[in-house]
Amino acid sequence: MMGNLSVALITHGRIQTTLTKAKALRPFIEKIITFAKKAEAANDTARKLHYRRLAIARVRDKKAVARLFDELVSEFTERNGGYTRIYKVGQRIGDAAEMALIELIDGNDEGYSKPSKKAAKKATKKAANKVEEDAPAEEAEAPAAEATETEATETEAPATEATETEAPAAEATETEAPAAEEKKPVKKAAKKAAKKAVKKEAPAEDKKDA
């Protein structure tokens, strides 16, 4: 079935069939077209005959293969794919099957005249890379000098911070001294209260003895 559909597509250039058959025919016919491209690019006649026989083994029509290899192959040499196009036609009356048109795309089609988006992006990237490579080396040396100056200032800054941290340590020792002085009156008051308690208890014991 794929062989018959491919023969009809090569001879007429466009056929109408169901959508599922059109989607199945696309990879089949594209492989036959690649055989034709390889045969044209080959310098050896034996290789050309080999690819032609491979195509005949699949398509099974010598006239259609000869037309593809001799006439139509020139339209596909500058392309790496996209040889066919599928159009959805609608549903068929009777069984409501989805129909489609499949056709071979000519080399002069409008879709191949304009560069693709990927090619445009690659071109812009290449231009940007060239501009960066052509930039003078002085601009690269200037940031290096600025980096050395910033490193020197950063190394001096921690030394000053260390001196500032030593000052609070001295202040901490000064604050500890008053705390020790405050503890002394508390101890004296406790001793006086203990002596008073002892004196109060002593007269009571003397009265009992009397």
Give the span between the Cα atoms of 31 and 122, in whole angstroms: 28
Q: Which domain holds residue 13?
A: 2-107
pTM to 2 decimal places: 0.54
- Taking alpha carbons only, the member of 81, 98, 86 closest to residue 23 is 86
- The total number of structural domains in the chain stands at 1
Q: State the pLDDT at residue 34.
A: 96
Q: State the pLDDT at residue 136.
A: 55
Residue 133 lies in a domain: no
Average pLDDT over residues 43-60: 96
Residue with the bigger pLDDT between 70 and 145: it is 70
- Taking alpha carbons only, the member of 33, 44, 40 closest to residue 10 is 33
Give the span between the Cα atoms of 43 and 40, in whole angstroms: 8
Residue 124 lies in a domain: no
Residue 135 lies in a domain: no
Give the span between the Cα atoms of 4 and 21, in whole angstroms: 12
Average pLDDT over residues 130-155: 56
Q: State the pLDDT at residue 126.
A: 75
Q: Does residue 91 register a pLDDT over 70?
A: yes
Identify the CATH number of the domain in which residue 67 sits: 3.90.1030.10
Residue 70 lies in a domain: yes
Q: Does residue 199 register a pLDDT over 70?
A: no
Q: What percent of the chain has pLDDT over 70?
A: 61
